[in-house]
Amino acid sequence: MQKILPLTILSIGCAAFLPATASALPMTTPRATPQPPKFVFKDASGKPTSVDVVERYQPTKISRPFASVDGRLDPKLMRAASIADERAHAHSRRQCWHAVKEALLASGIITSRPTTVYAKDAGQELVNNYGFRKLALNDPYQAPIGSVLVYNASRAAGHVELRTKDGFVSDFRSKTPSRRPLLGVYVKS
Protein backbone atom coordinates (compact mmCIF):
# COMPACT_ATOMS: atom_id res chain seq x y z
CA MET A 1 0.00 0.00 0.00
CA GLN A 2 2.87 2.37 0.81
CA LYS A 3 4.41 1.89 -2.67
CA ILE A 4 1.12 2.29 -4.54
CA LEU A 5 0.21 5.66 -3.02
CA PRO A 6 3.29 7.55 -4.28
CA LEU A 7 2.90 6.06 -7.76
CA THR A 8 -0.75 7.08 -7.90
CA ILE A 9 0.06 10.65 -6.82
CA LEU A 10 2.87 10.81 -9.37
CA SER A 11 0.65 9.60 -12.24
CA ILE A 12 -2.14 12.06 -11.30
CA GLY A 13 0.41 14.89 -11.15
CA CYS A 14 1.82 13.97 -14.56
CA ALA A 15 -1.66 13.85 -16.01
CA ALA A 16 -2.49 17.27 -14.60
CA PHE A 17 0.66 19.07 -15.72
CA LEU A 18 1.57 17.08 -18.83
CA PRO A 19 -1.70 15.71 -20.31
CA ALA A 20 -0.25 14.73 -23.75
CA THR A 21 2.60 12.74 -22.20
CA ALA A 22 0.31 10.99 -19.74
CA SER A 23 -2.19 9.98 -22.42
CA ALA A 24 0.59 8.50 -24.55
CA LEU A 25 1.60 6.19 -21.73
CA PRO A 26 -0.17 2.86 -21.97
CA MET A 27 -2.26 2.05 -18.95
CA THR A 28 -2.51 -1.66 -19.83
CA THR A 29 0.10 -4.00 -21.15
CA PRO A 30 -0.16 -4.63 -24.90
CA ARG A 31 -1.31 -8.10 -25.88
CA ALA A 32 0.68 -10.15 -28.31
CA THR A 33 -1.01 -11.15 -31.57
CA PRO A 34 -2.27 -14.70 -31.23
CA GLN A 35 -0.25 -17.18 -33.24
CA PRO A 36 -2.00 -20.01 -35.06
CA PRO A 37 -1.75 -23.35 -33.28
CA LYS A 38 1.04 -25.65 -34.44
CA PHE A 39 1.13 -29.41 -34.89
CA VAL A 40 4.55 -30.74 -33.84
CA PHE A 41 5.89 -34.06 -35.15
CA LYS A 42 9.17 -35.75 -36.07
CA ASP A 43 10.04 -36.06 -39.74
CA ALA A 44 11.70 -39.09 -41.38
CA SER A 45 15.15 -38.05 -40.14
CA GLY A 46 13.91 -37.70 -36.53
CA LYS A 47 14.07 -33.90 -36.50
CA PRO A 48 11.13 -32.15 -34.73
CA THR A 49 9.05 -30.20 -37.23
CA SER A 50 5.85 -28.18 -36.94
CA VAL A 51 3.11 -27.02 -39.28
CA ASP A 52 0.14 -24.68 -38.86
CA VAL A 53 -3.17 -26.26 -37.90
CA VAL A 54 -5.94 -25.42 -40.39
CA GLU A 55 -8.78 -23.93 -38.37
CA ARG A 56 -11.26 -23.23 -41.15
CA TYR A 57 -11.96 -24.50 -44.65
CA GLN A 58 -10.42 -22.52 -47.49
CA PRO A 59 -11.61 -23.98 -50.81
CA THR A 60 -9.12 -22.08 -52.96
CA LYS A 61 -6.11 -23.50 -51.11
CA ILE A 62 -7.14 -27.16 -51.24
CA SER A 63 -6.47 -28.83 -54.56
CA ARG A 64 -6.75 -32.34 -55.92
CA PRO A 65 -3.82 -34.07 -57.57
CA PHE A 66 -3.49 -34.34 -61.31
CA ALA A 67 -4.58 -37.60 -62.91
CA SER A 68 -1.97 -40.19 -63.77
CA VAL A 69 -1.23 -41.65 -67.18
CA ASP A 70 -1.41 -45.43 -67.31
CA GLY A 71 0.87 -46.71 -70.07
CA ARG A 72 -1.00 -50.02 -70.27
CA LEU A 73 -4.17 -48.31 -71.49
CA ASP A 74 -5.03 -47.56 -75.10
CA PRO A 75 -3.71 -44.04 -75.97
CA LYS A 76 -6.96 -43.40 -77.83
CA LEU A 77 -8.63 -43.01 -74.43
CA MET A 78 -6.50 -39.94 -73.71
CA ARG A 79 -7.38 -38.65 -77.18
CA ALA A 80 -11.08 -39.13 -76.40
CA ALA A 81 -10.68 -37.10 -73.20
CA SER A 82 -8.96 -34.26 -75.07
CA ILE A 83 -11.62 -34.29 -77.82
CA ALA A 84 -14.39 -34.09 -75.22
CA ASP A 85 -12.51 -31.29 -73.44
CA GLU A 86 -12.22 -29.30 -76.68
CA ARG A 87 -15.94 -29.64 -77.39
CA ALA A 88 -17.19 -29.11 -73.83
CA HIS A 89 -19.23 -26.18 -72.61
CA ALA A 90 -18.91 -24.23 -69.38
CA HIS A 91 -22.20 -25.62 -68.02
CA SER A 92 -24.15 -28.82 -68.48
CA ARG A 93 -26.57 -29.15 -71.37
CA ARG A 94 -27.84 -32.50 -70.04
CA GLN A 95 -26.16 -34.34 -72.90
CA CYS A 96 -23.31 -36.08 -71.05
CA TRP A 97 -23.67 -39.55 -72.60
CA HIS A 98 -24.13 -38.06 -76.05
CA ALA A 99 -20.92 -36.01 -75.70
CA VAL A 100 -18.91 -38.98 -74.37
CA LYS A 101 -20.21 -41.22 -77.20
CA GLU A 102 -19.11 -38.64 -79.76
CA ALA A 103 -15.65 -38.30 -78.19
CA LEU A 104 -15.15 -42.09 -78.05
CA LEU A 105 -16.18 -42.40 -81.71
CA ALA A 106 -14.00 -39.48 -82.85
CA SER A 107 -10.93 -40.90 -81.09
CA GLY A 108 -11.38 -44.33 -82.72
CA ILE A 109 -11.52 -46.27 -79.45
CA ILE A 110 -14.93 -47.62 -80.50
CA THR A 111 -16.06 -48.35 -84.07
CA SER A 112 -19.84 -47.91 -83.77
CA ARG A 113 -22.15 -45.67 -81.80
CA PRO A 114 -23.41 -47.14 -78.48
CA THR A 115 -27.17 -47.70 -78.42
CA THR A 116 -27.99 -47.31 -74.71
CA VAL A 117 -30.15 -44.33 -73.87
CA TYR A 118 -29.32 -43.86 -70.20
CA ALA A 119 -25.89 -42.79 -69.00
CA LYS A 120 -26.06 -45.15 -66.03
CA ASP A 121 -26.18 -48.10 -68.51
CA ALA A 122 -23.06 -46.97 -70.39
CA GLY A 123 -20.59 -49.08 -68.41
CA GLN A 124 -22.34 -52.37 -69.09
CA GLU A 125 -22.55 -51.66 -72.83
CA LEU A 126 -18.89 -50.66 -73.01
CA VAL A 127 -17.89 -53.93 -71.33
CA ASN A 128 -20.24 -56.17 -73.35
CA ASN A 129 -19.82 -54.66 -76.83
CA TYR A 130 -16.56 -52.70 -76.98
CA GLY A 131 -13.95 -54.59 -74.93
CA PHE A 132 -13.76 -52.21 -71.96
CA ARG A 133 -13.08 -53.52 -68.46
CA LYS A 134 -14.11 -52.20 -65.06
CA LEU A 135 -11.37 -51.04 -62.68
CA ALA A 136 -11.59 -51.73 -58.95
CA LEU A 137 -11.68 -48.04 -57.96
CA ASN A 138 -14.05 -46.21 -55.65
CA ASP A 139 -12.40 -42.78 -55.86
CA PRO A 140 -12.93 -40.82 -59.11
CA TYR A 141 -9.71 -38.88 -58.48
CA GLN A 142 -7.69 -42.11 -58.80
CA ALA A 143 -9.05 -42.85 -62.27
CA PRO A 144 -6.40 -42.68 -65.05
CA ILE A 145 -6.64 -40.11 -67.84
CA GLY A 146 -9.21 -41.11 -70.45
CA SER A 147 -11.15 -43.52 -68.28
CA VAL A 148 -14.95 -43.48 -68.48
CA LEU A 149 -16.68 -42.85 -65.14
CA VAL A 150 -20.30 -43.95 -64.85
CA TYR A 151 -22.60 -42.69 -62.08
CA ASN A 152 -25.97 -43.93 -60.89
CA ALA A 153 -29.18 -42.02 -60.29
CA SER A 154 -32.28 -43.54 -58.73
CA ARG A 155 -34.92 -41.73 -60.78
CA ALA A 156 -32.84 -40.15 -63.54
CA ALA A 157 -30.61 -41.09 -66.45
CA GLY A 158 -27.39 -41.03 -64.41
CA HIS A 159 -24.18 -39.38 -65.50
CA VAL A 160 -21.08 -40.35 -67.46
CA GLU A 161 -17.81 -38.42 -67.85
CA LEU A 162 -14.20 -38.82 -68.94
CA ARG A 163 -11.21 -38.19 -66.67
CA THR A 164 -8.84 -35.47 -67.87
CA LYS A 165 -5.47 -34.41 -66.50
CA ASP A 166 -6.93 -31.80 -64.17
CA GLY A 167 -10.63 -32.66 -63.91
CA PHE A 168 -13.59 -34.32 -65.56
CA VAL A 169 -15.42 -33.69 -68.82
CA SER A 170 -18.63 -34.75 -70.55
CA ASP A 171 -20.75 -32.08 -72.24
CA PHE A 172 -19.18 -29.63 -69.76
CA ARG A 173 -15.89 -29.26 -67.87
CA SER A 174 -15.57 -29.69 -64.12
CA LYS A 175 -12.70 -29.72 -61.63
CA THR A 176 -14.67 -32.05 -59.37
CA PRO A 177 -16.42 -35.34 -60.13
CA SER A 178 -20.17 -35.84 -60.05
CA ARG A 179 -21.80 -36.06 -56.61
CA ARG A 180 -23.84 -39.08 -57.70
CA PRO A 181 -22.86 -42.60 -56.55
CA LEU A 182 -20.03 -43.99 -58.71
CA LEU A 183 -21.01 -47.23 -60.47
CA GLY A 184 -17.64 -47.88 -62.05
CA VAL A 185 -14.50 -46.72 -63.83
CA TYR A 186 -14.04 -48.28 -67.28
CA VAL A 187 -10.91 -48.49 -69.47
CA LYS A 188 -9.71 -50.32 -72.55
CA SER A 189 -6.23 -51.81 -72.86
CATH of the domain at 118: 3.90.1720.10
Q: Is pLDDT at 158 greater than 90 in this prediction? A: yes
100 is a domain residue: yes
Closest CA to 140 of 118, 167, 120, 102: 167
Number of domains within the chain: 1
Higher pLDDT, 109 or 52: 109
What mean pLDDT do residues 161-186 have? 95
Give domain status of residue 55, yes or no.
no
Q: Is 58 left (phi over 0), alpha (psi -120 to 50) or beta?
A: beta
- What is the residue type of 140? P
Asked if residue 80 belongs to a domain, the reply is yes
The domain of 88 spans 75-187
In a domain, 69, yes or no: no
Kindly give the pairing relationship between strand 148-151 and strand 133-135: unpaired
Please report which confidence band the pLDDT of residue 72 belongs to, taking 50, 70 and 90 as the band edges: confident
Query: According to DSSP H, which parts of 18-142 are helical?
Result: 19-24, 75-87, 96-107, 122-130
152 inside domain? yes
Instruction: Report the relative pairing of strands 38-42 and 159-163 from DSSP bridges.
Output: unpaired
Asked if residues 76 and 107 have their Cβ atoms less than 8 Å apart, the reply is yes
Task: Please state the separation of Cα 42 from the chain's center in Å.
Answer: 28
How far apart CA 13 and CA 69 sit, in angstroms, is 80
Is 146 within a domain?
yes
Residue 16 lies inside a defined structural domain of this protein: no
Within-domain flag for 99: yes
11-20, 26-35, 110-119: segment of lowest average pLDDT = 11-20
**According to the model, what pLDDT value does residue 11 have?**
67
pTM value?
A: 0.66
Spatial distance between the Cα atoms of 150 and 165, rounded to a whole number of angstroms: 18
